[in-house]
Chains A and B, each alone.
Chain A
Amino acid sequence: MRDAVKVGPRLYLRRLTEEDASTLAEASHLEDETGLHEDGRIPMSVLSFEAWIRGLDASSTVFAISRRGDGGCIGTASIRNIDRVNGTAETGSGLLRREDRGKGLGTEAKQLLLEFAFGELGLHVLSSTVFEGNVRSARALRKQGYRLAGRLTANVLAAGGVIGDTLVFDITRGDWEHARQEARPAEPSGHDGAGLAGPDDQASG
């Protein structure tokens, strides 16, 4: 688990690097589900992903999602628009292949991302937006502890001239801590082994 930042039972998060650009570009050509993204599917170049990764600054943290025992990239998990004054940011995630979706992998990656956002970054509240047609993603967010904060009416013009709302979710540090306590009532307090990389696995920087 080279450069692992957060480790879960099946997955780990590591920094996204320019070497991942070709995997992301290829996935944009092989996407076989429609209706996930408001702009529709667009084939994207390796160059464009390399430029995007190079251009990431301190306002974003983007991780590659990797399987344990395999350093590849099966998706991304991101924290964007980090506002260090207010302690807020927006999260997003995506699994690249259809066969990986709906198996709880996105939720495992999100739990690791939340640990990083509330733990290492010390953020207070996170938001996330979903096109209302993306029922699976909205469902996954609720399962991950996010609550519906409202909807932006007619915010998305999707395929076929259909206009849809954007659902906005939020999760506070309090929600997250509460959910963790509920999930692990018997766990002794102190260091939480699951989900934290060992010293050898810590990413540099």
Chain B
Amino acid sequence: MGKHELTGGEMVEDGSGLPPAIYLRGKLVGLRAPLRADAGDASVWYEGDPPLLPEAAESLLAAGERIPWGNNPTIRLMIVALASGEIVGGLIVHRSASRTSQLALTVGERVPQRAQVQAEVLRLAVPWLLNEVGLMTVTIRIPADETSMLTAAEGAGMHTAVRLREYVVRPGGRVNLLTMERVNEDWGRRWRRHDHA
């Protein structure tokens, strides 16, 4: 990823044959399904602990990419800069029983306008998952010191649901781990809630 600002504007054709989905495009970035060739950029999109070598990343994609219906609850997407076609991060959606979900959002440390990219991705993805994919809840776990990610989640209408104390270790000490969630209110109207004691 270059060091220049991600500018908005027309999508650059990167020759991959997969444009960002027309319904998941913002001003700076868009989301598309992974390609085998994305393995080389794993350091930018992979949500686990780096490093992930390109060969391992290719195996991961080959093993994980299944039509996301039926038994495959996982949706992995690449975050692509609209102006350059470069991959700047990844989003993975783990669905459970087609009803609840947990996101992992990764944006490369050195991506320019990182906070804006985080915010834009969640503002695109959360309403899509609730209103179109039809999930009942979307959650994301964020260490309490990742302020830009927290702001991004709040910008997507998410609220703190769980605060696990001292759950993440940092060089300077421990920080809490927050679970932010947004609930699909349509589901709330359609389903009977447990009677709170």
Give the B-binding residues of A (Cβ under 8 A).
Answer: 85-88, 124-125, 127, 132-133, 135, 147, 149-155, 157-158, 160-165, 168, 170, 172
- Contacts known (A86-B169, A153-B183); A170 close to B193, Cβ less than 8 A: no
Taking a contact as CB atoms under 8 Å apart, the answer to whether A154 and B165 are in contact is no
Q: With A and B bound together, what is the CA distance between A154 and B99 in angstroms?
A: 9
Q: With A and B bound together, what is the CA distance between A124 and B174 in angstroms?
A: 10
Q: With A and B bound together, what is the CA distance between A85 and B49 in angstroms?
A: 11
- Contacts known (A124-B166, A162-B194, A168-B179); A151 close to B161, Cβ less than 8 A: yes
- Contacts known (A86-B169, A87-B169); A161 close to B164, Cβ less than 8 A: no
What bracket does the count of chain B residues touching chain A fall in? Answer: 20 to 34
Number of A-B pairs, beta carbon distance below 8 Å: 81
Q: With A and B bound together, what is the CA distance between A167 and B187 in angstroms?
A: 20
Taking a contact as CB atoms under 8 Å apart, the answer to whether B165 and A170 are in contact is yes
User: Chain B's interface: helix, strand, loop or mixed, by majority?
Assistant: strand
Taking a contact as CB atoms under 8 Å apart, the answer to whether B187 and A154 are in contact is yes
Say how far B161's CB is from chain A's closest CB, in angstroms.
Answer: 5
Chain B contacts for A87, CB-based, 8 A: 169
A149 partner, pick from B99, B163, B169, beta carbons under 8 A: B163
Give the A-binding residues of B (Cβ under 8 A).
Answer: 97, 99-100, 136-137, 139, 160-169, 174, 179, 181, 183, 187-188, 191-194, 196-197
Taking a contact as CB atoms under 8 Å apart, the answer to whether B179 and A157 are in contact is no
User: Chain A's interface: helix, strand, loop or mixed, by majority?
Assistant: strand
What would 28 A/B residue contacts be, using CB atoms closer than 8 Å? Answer: A85-B169, A86-B167, A86-B169, A87-B169, A88-B167, A124-B174, A125-B165, A125-B166, A127-B167, A132-B196, A133-B194, A149-B163, A150-B161, A151-B162, A152-B100, A152-B162, A153-B137, A154-B100, A154-B183, A154-B188, A157-B97, A161-B191, A161-B192, A163-B191, A163-B192, A163-B194, A164-B194, A170-B164
Across the two chains, which residue of chain B brings its CB closest to A124? B166
Chain A contacts for B165, CB-based, 8 A: 125, 147, 149, 170, 172
